[in-house]
Structure 1
């Protein structure tokens, strides 16, 4: 029996070996079968449903891969066609890779593509499918394991049928115009249990992150960037056993915190940038030894940076910028010897740069901008020979610029702006850095010495030069040979006299920003009528002594700033060709004549129009349309006449209007009452006349808070009813010292880094406070002031004044009218609550009775009430009889907080105040820094320089 069994086994193995030999022999002569005819037909139909259009793909290596799909010659075997993969045993089409193939057209549910039911892999990325919806018939491809439709211009809802593709291991639907609403993301993926890679970046999901994602144990990569996710991020996702890449950046509504990483994890990339995750970085993050990338910029993380980050020796990218980390930079960072990118900018870090940075020889990009880093730059930087960008601006660095910096031969950008160095530096030292094309030394405390003997022709071609406040006494001659500059800032130096003739030829094809402000220039010389820079975006000549007619920059200009000079003549008609202009500031000059009728050419781009303190005359053109974006207009201190332009009622974004000190002859502009954002309306010192009708409910002035009608001829009752409709939301948080301002930023392109120029216009105004002309260089959002003085208002002060929304009232002037009656009880109650009221005046009326008593009233001098023979009170020569004495109103809790009030900030007489500051920024990508502005007053005063990087 045993012998028979043995022989049976032997025969079996002989049979197996014979079969194996037969298979092996055949395999050497194996011929792949031809593709199936019906599948070839499906492929040809699919090809014919599209147009080949080179604009349909953005990859520079793209080409029309379907061009080889043809039956001509001996090409009938579709398995040999470009990017078609067939099963080597049965000939079925199992793979199509048509990414970047110039395909343009729509895909519908009847597409022959969905008849290729044996497909396992399909890549249609980087084509243009004309915003068509992904058809539900995608479920026909039930064997799909890999699907990539990234960046192919699909739109609308992702079909539920995706949930039937249970074999899917890699799904990429990113960079389209898709959305997931019904079904939800959870329902879409609940059956896709084999998923290893999921990329839904840019898909509009608008929901919480479903917990079910934490059950997809096969996931190695999860990308949900910019999906409008919200709610708390599930901790369970961090614990996925195979997850290597987690990317949820640009979901501002996403909250949550980092867990305590006390488990083994293969995580290599954590990308949480631009979310609302918060809390501290746990020290256990140092246990994630596989990490190569941490991107947590623009979140809400706080506390100290844990020294355990120094354990992550595989890390090559670390970005913790735009958070509120404090304390020192850990010296353990010296262990991160693979690190090539480091950004800690815009935090609250202190103490010197660790000398251990000398160990980081792979560093290429360093961004420490906008912290409180002190001390000197360590000389060990000379070891960082790969360094390309060194951004140290807006810190408290001191001492001299170390000579080791001039040994960084690969340096392309160096920014030391806004520090406290103390030295005279030779420009020739920077010239030795032959790759250096962006140099920013603005307001860093150095005096820059530029040699006259330098061989200008051998200098490298600079792209960005920020030399603001570098104690220059003349235009650097080397600029004459620079033809690649995009950014040139020579502002706030000691440059006198005339602009040299050669300056008009500097980088004519490239310059986008020119700043010559705050110098002592007297003439532009023989400049062309139209300045030669064809791509100019910003021209800033403010605060010089320039004379002559206005120069006209290129029609591409976005910001034209020439305030505080001595320009004369009319505004040239050519200025109206700047159809993209955002800011036009011609204030404080000697310009005259009427305004050009073509102002409407500025279209919907203009944000700020400042013409104050000139000698313009005539009527203001009816120039504005319903698409206007104007936010601030200042026509004050000119000689304008006639009527106000009614077209201003179309400018629904207006915040501030100042027509003061002109010769307008008109009735009150009730028609401005529907402007929802108008906070400031100043009509002082004109020839306005007649009653102000406040009973028309459709004109409410809902946001008005600064209202100056003084020195006109208005009649009738006081226009206080406008404040019955005032929006109180601006007063809800009195501790926020924000200002009435407009901010805009302009990107300046550069090969090394993208720069942004951020313009901040803080609205300035003049009001008469306690008889003194007071110039406010900026105005708080909470500031409320009413000046109805020097008119012909009659009647009583209405009792309802006590019910008005005047919580932020700082000035109330009703003097020099014909008001009668007593000071009403409502006003008594209001004023005793307004502990911040600095000026109150009802003098020169016909008021009678006692003036109120109490803390607030007792602070007003007697001349606040003089000229009213019928008034009596303690502070007046006429004392009240016992029957007339007014009892003091009860004290309020606010009175005890008077000294700490935020309303006290800025209430000072300002002799010189100009209404805007300039903020300069540098960006990588699209995110801009917003720094607490008061921090920089020490360096710029009215003009402030801010820099930003992302």
Structure 2
């Protein structure tokens, strides 16, 4: 054999050796699973986006070092991120392959926004190392596999913005370490589960079709709770022990009865209870210093009585579309003047006075709306009012008289 031919032959042998070694640097079972996963997904064409699967070359590349979205440890896949997550990328289509369950060392599974359809593979419930499952903003359907809720090491489960249906599977108390549960924007039905994982810190079940009342057992460590836009009814009960709660959204449901006084505390910087059937008055609670960025929305309910000083420190306050009467406390006016309260909506009530000097110009950073109340000429005009407030500056006199009579009768 000529020397040149021998050198070429030697180069081919060396190349073949390293190619084979590279392919074998990953577990054969994981390698096969990735091939099945790739075959179940397609990329949505886009001229502007980088093609996610362009690096998935099964003939030459080492998946552990070359495949986008694949992270390994000791030749096993531990993180699988499907899609680029970039805003200009339309994402992936297809279905989630059951072969994901063959990646037995997987601890993070992420699917970025796209149009992936079909069910969540029920065998994911066998991957006991999983800590994060995030399959958001796609078109996944059918029930959530119950076994997922009992994975012993699961920390975060985010299945939001899909088309999942059925009931929320119950969690076995004490079985897992779930801290974050986000199932918002789906088509989930039935009552809320009677209990949740004791370790839960973040719970978002908003924008579903859930019914029933608040569960008796709510994790005491919750910091974020959103049940907005469901069909949940009954009183707001069982939240007194949530001493760490900072964000509460129970808006657009069918809650009724009085607002518990214990909710008016400085640690809750966002309290959204609008568009329910809540009654009674604003609780007689001491004024708290809620701080910058705080929001309280009690609008579109059936609250009555005079406004109390409880909410003076809130930055954005909505009390509009209730049945509140009397004069606005001086403290609220001073807070608006100082710019600490930036939004105060009181329109569509039966308020009789807003103690501010005629012609006073509020700071440009504030928005105050007091139209359609029982004041002949609201002192601040309607420039800051939303379009939904309507064009009428004051209530008809007969409505104000009727409201006064009702209030007087209730005090007799």
Task: Tell me if both proteins adopt one fold, taking TM over 0.5 as the criterion.
Answer: yes
1:369-768 matches, within 5 Å, as 373-377=49-53, 378-380=55-57, 383-387=61-65, 391=69, 409-416=75-82, 418=85, 419-447=89-117, 449-451=119-121, 454=123, 457=126, 459-468=127-136, 469-479=138-148, 481-500=150-169, 503-505=170-172, 508-524=175-191, 527-528=193-194, 531-551=195-215, 552-572=217-237, 574-600=238-264, 603-623=265-285, 625-629=287-291, 631-649=294-312, 651=313, 654-675=314-335, 676-690=339-353, 692-694=355-357, 702=363, 704-715=365-376, 718-719=379-380, 767-768=387-388
Preserved CA contact (<8 Å) 1:539 1:559: yes
Secondary structure of residue in 2 paired with 1:472: strand
Distance 2:124 2:375 in 1: 69
Shift of 1:414: 2.3
For each residue in 1:725-783, what CA deviation from the matched residue of structure 2 results, as whole angstroms up to 9, or x when unmatched? Answer: x9xxxxxxxxxxxxxxxxxxxxxxxxxxxxxxxxxxxxxx95337x5xxxxxxxxxxxx
Preserved CA contact (<8 Å) 1:691 1:716: no
For each residue in 1:486-519, what CA deviation from the matched residue of structure 2 results, as whole angstroms up to 9, or x when unmatched? Answer: 100122222223223xx32277441111112112
User: Structure 1 508/541 Cα, relative in aligned 2: closer, same or farther at 3 Å?
Assistant: farther
User: Structure 1 644/583 Cα, relative in aligned 2: closer, same or farther at 3 Å?
Assistant: same
The alignment of Structure 1 onto Structure 2 pairs a total of residues equal to 338
Alignment RMSD: 3.5
User: Structure 1 668/455 Cα, relative in aligned 2: closer, same or farther at 3 Å?
Assistant: closer
Secondary structure of residue in 2 paired with 1:547: coil
Structure 2 unaligned spans of 5+: 1-47, 398-412
Distance 1:470 1:596 in 2: 39
User: Structure 1 631/480 Cα, relative in aligned 2: closer, same or farther at 3 Å?
Assistant: closer
Shift of 1:473: 1.1
Distance 2:165 2:396 in 1: 51
User: Structure 1 695/420 Cα, relative in aligned 2: closer, same or farther at 3 Å?
Assistant: closer
Shift of 1:449: 4.5
Secondary structure of residue in 1 paired with 2:349: coil
Secondary structure of residue in 2 paired with 1:575: coil
Shift of 1:479: 1.2
Distance 2:370 2:99 in 1: 60
1:220-299 matches, within 5 Å, as none
Distance 2:362 2:392 in 1: 16
For each residue in 1:313-350, what CA deviation from the matched residue of structure 2 results, as whole angstroms up to 9, or x when unmatched? Answer: xxxxxxxxxxxxxxxxxxxxxxxxxxxxxxxxxxxxxx
User: Structure 1 390/548 Cα, relative in aligned 2: closer, same or farther at 3 Å?
Assistant: same
- TM-score w.r.t. length of structure 1: 0.33
Preserved CA contact (<8 Å) 1:544 1:564: yes
Preserved CA contact (<8 Å) 2:150 2:176: no
Distance 1:717 1:539 in 2: 42
1:335-354 matches, within 5 Å, as none
User: Structure 1 575/671 Cα, relative in aligned 2: closer, same or farther at 3 Å?
Assistant: same
Secondary structure of residue in 1 paired with 2:240: helix
- TM-score w.r.t. length of structure 2: 0.71
Look up the match of 1:166.
none
Preserved CA contact (<8 Å) 2:105 2:129: no
Structure 1 unaligned spans of 5+: 1-371, 392-403, 727-764, 772-786, 794-950
Shift of 1:422: 4.1
Preserved CA contact (<8 Å) 1:512 1:538: yes
Secondary structure of residue in 2 paired with 1:579: coil
Look up the match of 2:32.
none
Q: Name whichever of 550-559 and 411-420 sits farther off.
A: 411-420
Shift of 1:664: 0.3
